[in-house]
Structure 1
Amino acid sequence: MKKVSFAEFGGPDVLHLVDAEEPHAGPGRIRIAVRAAGVNPVDWRIREGQVLGAHPVELPAGVGLDASGVVDQVGEGVEGVAIGDRVFGEGADTYAEFAVLSAWARMPEALTFEEAAGYPSVVETALRLIREVGVRPGQTLLVSGASGGVGSAVLQIARERGITVVGTAGAANQEYLRSLGALATTYGEGWVERVRGLGGPFDAALDLAGSGVIPQLVALTGDPHRVLSIADLGAPGFGVRFSGVAGSVPDALAEAVDLISRGKLHIPVEKSYALADAAAAHIDSQAGHTRGRRVVVV
């Protein structure tokens, strides 16, 4: 099969489309013929060699955690899924023609493969962040860098739970944030004053972009324990938790299916890339300003 791989840590140029042996579904796993793979910031952070709390990376390594596709192998002990089912989920080395998933769910009928590939990790991350930061119905959550995949999920899930959300993003994404139920403003000079003008006090804050705003988020919430980052490895230096890779969470996929089916969660695909163009997908992902998700189409 074809897969995207890297033999050394570095920039997008270390990614190569190579011939590789097909993986097989072991006990408790399924294999899919991949139709699309989600592009996540954690993909390029791992490619760069950043330490994110995940398992050590052995080189050469594949790329990708999320995928959608058609089941073509079912491992021992797996029930409730059959060859030919359309599923989406989390696994390993998903930028490939075949991938093994460790957590999955049947795709909602309304989703295309491209759309479905954009949900697994971002919904798991969004649910985890809302839980870990401890924000509750009736409170106010500030989200820095809110227009990407995780931000899109956080805004919608928080609003569904009765949490007021204030989000920052680029000028081009202000209406997008408002369409998801958030109070919105731009980042950049003067952003703290603009945020304060939208409401508060802020009961919790999330840093999703890693743009050096941790001290300001601490000041806005009044407590570093009310702030959580998934993007700034220097966060612990300010007493703020860094929440890295959690791995596969089947419950998150089930909640995603429920929210999508009820029309409470929609994450658009901003751009799709061919498998051979994975490096371009990483370049664009690292540049930020994403609205929704980017996916690699197989």
Structure 2
Amino acid sequence: MTEPTPQTMRATVVSEYGDPEVLVVRDVPLPVPGPGQVRISVRAAGISPTDLHIRAGDLSAFFALPEPAILGFEAAGVVDALGDGVTGVSVGDEVAARLPRLGGYADFVLADAWTPKPESVSWEEAGSLPTAAEAAVAALRQLGVAKGDQLLVLGATGSVGLMAVQLARSMGATVIGSAPERDRAVVEDLGALFLPAGTPVGDALKALGVEVDWVLDAISAGGLEEVVDAVGAPGKIVTLTGAGAHGGVQMLADGVNRAADALDMAMPLLASGQLRMRPRETFPMAQAAAAHTALEEHRSHRKLVLVND
């Protein structure tokens, strides 16, 4: 006798806004793919800093939590169901997706768009690539970075910063990467000039002999006044969140389609070894609260990824 398809799944949900302990494992309804959607059996889901801000309630004005409130904007796994009208993918295909809505911290998730996962790319890599690729590509396009430009990336060895450094270099831009001293070799190995984080930006740029055309703030911790003074105009700066978007500094434009082709661009580069990702640390899906705590307490300098067995 064929076993009935389960109508529920396990997911880590936000029970209320607050500390990591508000993340709890619960049985929730199994999502059903609608027209143009696929359902993915999740193998890995990346954790982004935005997830932490949503959980804490910092972004409640921008992200209304659905019911159930499952965090996670990126996932990789195996397609297990197709909605009406879906073509070009089959049940059993391995894919990665930047999710149009929250939901990655779960056994299954729905996606409107997806990219095949090459065999040479691990689940952990595939599950942590989508949001970094999308944000990096979108930011470079919003700034208008072009061949011959000089770009300063703050947080150059974070997930988005590392991606932006490499993509901007591939476009022919000169990149100055700001990062902790421990990451100097990483920045320089990518062909970027190194600027130690925490040093006066204007003085450091003069010492390097560069005049910056654009700035990508991939830290998003605010306090960009010194950077504005150094580059001469706030409009030359894009920041990832609202923390630094003051006095004319641009916030990265919203919308899941701002760089819809980013994952298709980045995945082949990753598979061929032309794209380097941040080192990763994995946690079981049910230990999302522990992962959030580790990230908030700075006990890990790696990209954190939740994995299902």
Q: Structure 1-normalised TM-score?
A: 0.92
Note closer, same or farther for the CA distance 1:178–1:152 as it changes in structure 2 (3 Å cut). Answer: same
| 1:292 CA displacement | 5.7
The residue number in structure 1 matching 2:6 is none
Q: Which moved more, 1:144-153 or 1:174-183?
A: 174-183
In the aligned structure 2, how far is the partner of 1:141 from the partner of 1:237? 20
Matches within 5 A, 1:134-145: 134-145=144-155
In the aligned structure 2, how far is the partner of 1:44 from the partner of 1:38? 12
In the aligned structure 2, how far is the partner of 1:203 from the partner of 1:284? 36
Q: 2:91 aligns with which of 52, 73, 83?
A: 83
Q: Which amino acid aligns with 1:28?
A: G
Q: Secondary structure at the match of 1:24?
A: coil
Q: Which amino acid aligns with 1:74?
A: L
Note closer, same or farther for the CA distance 1:295–1:129 as it changes in structure 2 (3 Å cut). Answer: same
Higher RCO, Cα 8 Å, sep 6+: 1
| 1:220 CA displacement | 2.0
In the aligned structure 1, how far is the partner of 2:222 from the partner of 2:191? 25
Matches within 5 A, 1:81-230: 81-91=89-99, 92-230=102-240
| 1:213 CA displacement | 3.6
In the aligned structure 1, how far is the partner of 2:22 from the partner of 2:67? 12
The residue number in structure 2 matching 1:237 is 246
The residue number in structure 1 matching 2:3 is none
Q: 2:66 aligns with which of 33, 58, 71?
A: 58
Kept after mapping to 1: 8 A contact 2:38/2:83: yes
The residue number in structure 2 matching 1:32 is 40
Matches within 5 A, 1:285-296: 285-287=295-297, 293-296=303-306
| 1:53 CA displacement | 7.7
Aligned residues, how many? 297
In the aligned structure 2, how far is the partner of 1:120 from the partner of 1:51? 21
| 1:4 CA displacement | 0.8
In the TM superposition, what whole-angstrom CA distance separates every residue of 1:239-283 from its partner, at most 9, and x where no partner exists?
111126432554112111232244321214321111122122223
Kept after mapping to 1: 8 A contact 2:201/2:226: no
- Unmatched tracts of structure 1, length 5 or more: none
In the TM superposition, what whole-angstrom CA distance separates every residue of 1:11-67 from its partner, at most 9, and x where no partner exists?
212111112121121111111110000111111111122338855223541110100
Q: Which moved more, 1:192-201 or 1:34-43?
A: 192-201
- Which of the two has higher C-alpha Rg? 2
The residue number in structure 2 matching 1:20 is 28
In the TM superposition, what whole-angstrom CA distance separates every residue of 1:68-119 from its partner, at most 9, and x where no partner exists?
1000001111110000001001223111111111221101221011111111
Note closer, same or farther for the CA distance 1:29–1:297 as it changes in structure 2 (3 Å cut). Answer: same
Q: Which moved more, 1:141-150 or 1:195-204?
A: 195-204
Q: Which moved more, 1:234-243 or 1:144-153?
A: 234-243
Kept after mapping to 1: 8 A contact 2:221/2:244: no
Q: 1:67 aligns with which of 65, 69, 75?
A: 75
In the TM superposition, what whole-angstrom CA distance separates every residue of 1:106-148 from its partner, at most 9, and x where no partner exists?
0122101111111111101000000101221111100111111
Q: Which amino acid aligns with 2:158?
A: G
| 1:293 CA displacement | 2.4
Note closer, same or farther for the CA distance 1:271–1:87 as it changes in structure 2 (3 Å cut). Answer: same
Q: Secondary structure at the match of 2:29?
A: coil
The residue number in structure 2 matching 1:10 is 18
Q: Which moved more, 1:47-56 or 1:32-41?
A: 47-56
Note closer, same or farther for the CA distance 1:60–1:261 as it changes in structure 2 (3 Å cut). Answer: closer
Q: Which moved more, 1:29-38 or 1:57-66?
A: 57-66
In the aligned structure 1, how far is the partner of 2:228 from the partner of 2:81? 48
Kept after mapping to 2: 8 A contact 1:38/1:64: yes
- Unmatched tracts of structure 2, length 5 or more: 1-8
Q: Structure 2-normalised TM-score?
A: 0.89
Q: Which moved more, 1:70-79 or 1:181-190?
A: 181-190
